[in-house]
Amino acid sequence: MVAPTVPPAASPLPRTDILRWSVLGRLLRARRGRLLFQLLLLLWAALVIYDGLTGPQLAPENLATVSVWLHYRGLVVLLLLLAGNFFCMACPFTLPRTLAPRLSEAGWRWPRALRNKWTAVATFVLLLLIYEWFDLWASAWLTAWLTVAYFAAAFILEALFRESAFCKYVCPLGTFNFLGAAISPSQITVHSRDVCRTCPGKECVNGSAEVVGCGTLLFPPQMSSNMDCVFCLDCARACPYDNVALTPRSPLAELVDPASWPLRWDLGLLALVFAFSALGNAFGMVPPFYALLEALGRLPAGVRLLAIFGSLELLLPAFAGLGAAALGRALAATREPLRHTFARYAPTVLPLAFAIWLAHYGFHFATGALAIVPALHAFLLDHGLPLAGRPDWTLSALLPFSWLLPLQMAATLVGLGGSLYVLERRTRSAVPAAKARGAQLPWAVLWLLVALAAVYLFTLPMEMRGTSFFN
**Residue 282 binds another protein, judged by CB under 8 A:** no
Among residues 195 and 407, whose Cβ is nearest to another protein? 407
Across the strands, what pairs with 189?
Answer: 245
Residues 6+ away with beta carbon under 8 Å from 276:
312, 313, 316, 317, 320, 450
Residues 6+ away with beta carbon under 8 Å from 325:
338, 341, 342, 345, 346, 442
Among residues 75 and 316, whose Cβ is nearest to another protein? 75
Separation between Cα atoms, residue 150 and residue 399, nearest integer Å: 32
Among 14, 258, 328, 368, binds another protein (CB under 8 A): 368
Among 65, 94, 177, 247, binds another protein (CB under 8 A): 65
HEC secondary structure over 265-332:
HHHHHHHHHHHHHHHHHHHCCCHHHHHHHHHCCCCCHHHHHHHHHHHHHHHHHHHHHHHHHHHHHHHH
Least Cβ distance, residue 371 to another protein (angstroms): 5
Q: For another protein, which stretch binds (CB under 8 A), given 32-40, 58-66, 204-212, 320-328?
A: 58-66
**Residue 158 binds another protein, judged by CB under 8 A:** no
In 312-399, where does DSSP find H-type helix?
Answer: 316-332, 338-345, 350-368, 372-382
Among residues 11 and 467, whose Cβ is nearest to another protein? 467
Least Cβ distance, residue 337 to another protein (angstroms): 45
**Residue 367 binds another protein, judged by CB under 8 A:** yes
Across the strands, what pairs with 245?
Answer: 189
Least Cβ distance, residue 65 to another protein (angstroms): 5
Separation between Cα atoms, residue 193 and residue 196, nearest integer Å: 5
Least Cβ distance, residue 86 to another protein (angstroms): 23
Least Cβ distance, residue 153 to another protein (angstroms): 12
Among residues 287 and 323, whose Cβ is nearest to another protein? 287
Among 6, 47, 66, 267, binds another protein (CB under 8 A): 66
**Residue 148 binds another protein, judged by CB under 8 A:** yes
The count of chain residues that interact with another protein, using the rule CB under 8 A, is: 46
Q: Which of residues 38-57 bind another protein (CB under 8 A)?
A: 49-50, 53-57
According to DSSP, residue 244 is labeled E
Among residues 273 and 375, whose Cβ is nearest to another protein? 375
Among residues 35 and 100, whose Cβ is nearest to another protein? 100
Nearest to 376 by CA among 16, 78, 47, 34: 47
Task: Give backbone dihedrals phi and psi of 4, rounded to 5 degrees, phi first.
Answer: -75, 160
**Residue 149 binds another protein, judged by CB under 8 A:** no
Task: Give backbone dihedrals phi and psi of 245, rounded to 5 degrees, phi first.
Answer: -125, 150
Q: For another protein, which stretch binds (CB under 8 A), given 118-126, 147-155, 231-239, 248-256?
A: 147-155
Q: For another protein, which stretch binds (CB under 8 A), given 130-138, 209-217, 308-316, 411-419?
A: 130-138
Least Cβ distance, residue 58 to another protein (angstroms): 6
The answer to whether 258 touches 429, Cβ cutoff 8 Å, is: yes
**Residue 275 binds another protein, judged by CB under 8 A:** no
In 21-138, where does DSSP find H-type helix?
Answer: 24-29, 33-54, 63-66, 73-82, 86-89, 95-99, 101-105, 118-133
* Vertex 246 angle, CA 261 and 421, to 5°: 40
Q: Which of residues 383-422 bind another protein (CB under 8 A)?
A: 393-394, 396-397
**Residue 137 binds another protein, judged by CB under 8 A:** yes
Task: Provide the Cα torsion 70, 71, 74, 75; round to 10°.
Answer: -170
Among residues 242 and 463, whose Cβ is nearest to another protein? 463
The answer to whether 342 touches 318, Cβ cutoff 8 Å, is: no
The answer to whether 155 touches 204, Cβ cutoff 8 Å, is: no
Least Cβ distance, residue 411 to another protein (angstroms): 18
The answer to whether 178 touches 117, Cβ cutoff 8 Å, is: no
**Residue 369 binds another protein, judged by CB under 8 A:** yes
Least Cβ distance, residue 106 to another protein (angstroms): 13
**Residue 75 binds another protein, judged by CB under 8 A:** no
The answer to whether 468 touches 134, Cβ cutoff 8 Å, is: yes
Among 20, 162, 340, 364, binds another protein (CB under 8 A): 364
- What's the distance, CA 102 to chain centroid? 28
Among residues 135 and 254, whose Cβ is nearest to another protein? 135
Least Cβ distance, residue 157 to another protein (angstroms): 13
Coil/strand/helix, residue 46:
helix
Least Cβ distance, residue 191 to another protein (angstroms): 39
Among 382, 387, 432, 452, binds another protein (CB under 8 A): 382
Least Cβ distance, residue 378 to another protein (angstroms): 7
The answer to whether 43 touches 127, Cβ cutoff 8 Å, is: no
Binding site for another protein (CB under 8 A): 49-50, 53-62, 65-66, 69-70, 100, 135, 137-138, 141, 144, 148, 152, 155, 287, 364-365, 367-369, 371, 375, 378, 382, 393-394, 396-397, 461-466, 471
